[in-house]
Amino acid sequence: MNWAVFLDRDGVINEEVTYLSDPGSLRLIPGAAVAISMLNRQAIPVIVVTNQAGVARGYYPESQVAILHQGLADRLAVEDARIDRFYYCPHHPTEGLPPYRILCECRKPNPGMLLQAARDFDLDLSRCTLIGDKASDLVAGWRAGCQTILVETGYGKQEWLRWSEEFQPQHIACDVLEAVEWIVSRGV
Ligand SMILES: [Mg+2]
Ligand SMILES: [Zn+2]
């Protein structure tokens, strides 16, 4: 079985923008492309898991998520970095209209996207690490049996102030590059 690194998208790879959908508003977090290409060079799958409730809320169509992800892939490719797969949850339990208004297994903190990736990539989740900036990311990783790293970019700093008593990630990193360096140095 294989292992992989799961990355939340907004606040980890790109700067947090509320309900980001326009590739023109995409700004990479410094070091993110270097971090991803470091994993690429070691043949470690890089898997994005992102909640996109803006779809359920009707802020943008699902097709726009694909356009944004292509835009992100293009930006990363310039710096020789590649995301192996994007998983996203377009749902919300109480907002918007069916079929998107649904209590789903994929919306973090549920672990559905990680479990799906484990089937698709034949992953041993106990050897995988999730890097996120929100408690909901870390709880999804924890529920899937992964290691977790909180980054201080995006919502990370305020999340840590709020939740530090409730959960303990394996590591806290200032950003995704430091998080990946930590993973690689441990050779997990
Ligand atoms: Mg985030
Ligand atoms: Zn979902």
Which ligand lies nearest the alpha carbon of 17? 1
pLDDT in tens, 1-12: 799 999 999 999
- What gap in Å lies between CA 78 and CA 86, rounded to an integer? 18
Percent of the chain with pLDDT over 90: 91
Q: Which ligand is nearest to the CA of 133?
A: 1
Is the pLDDT at 188 greater than 80? The verdict is no
Where does the pLDDT of residue 168 fall: very low under 50, low under 70, confident under 90, or very high at 90 and above? Answer: confident
Distance 7 CA to ligand 2 centre (A): 17
> pLDDT tens-digit profile of 74-88?
999 999 999 999 999
Q: Measuring CA to CA, how many Å separate 5 from each of 15, 101, 112, 122?
A: 19, 29, 16, 13
pTM: 0.96
- pLDDT of amino acid 32: 98
The token pair that represents 120 in the structure block:
């698709």
7 alpha carbon – ligand 1 mean position (Å) = 9
Which residue among 8, 84, 133, 175 is the active-site one?
8
Ligand 1 centroid–CA 154 distance in Å is: 6
CA distances from 159 to 5, 101, 123, 152, 153 (A): 21, 26, 28, 9, 10
Q: Which tokens in the block code for residue 24?
A: 């023109």
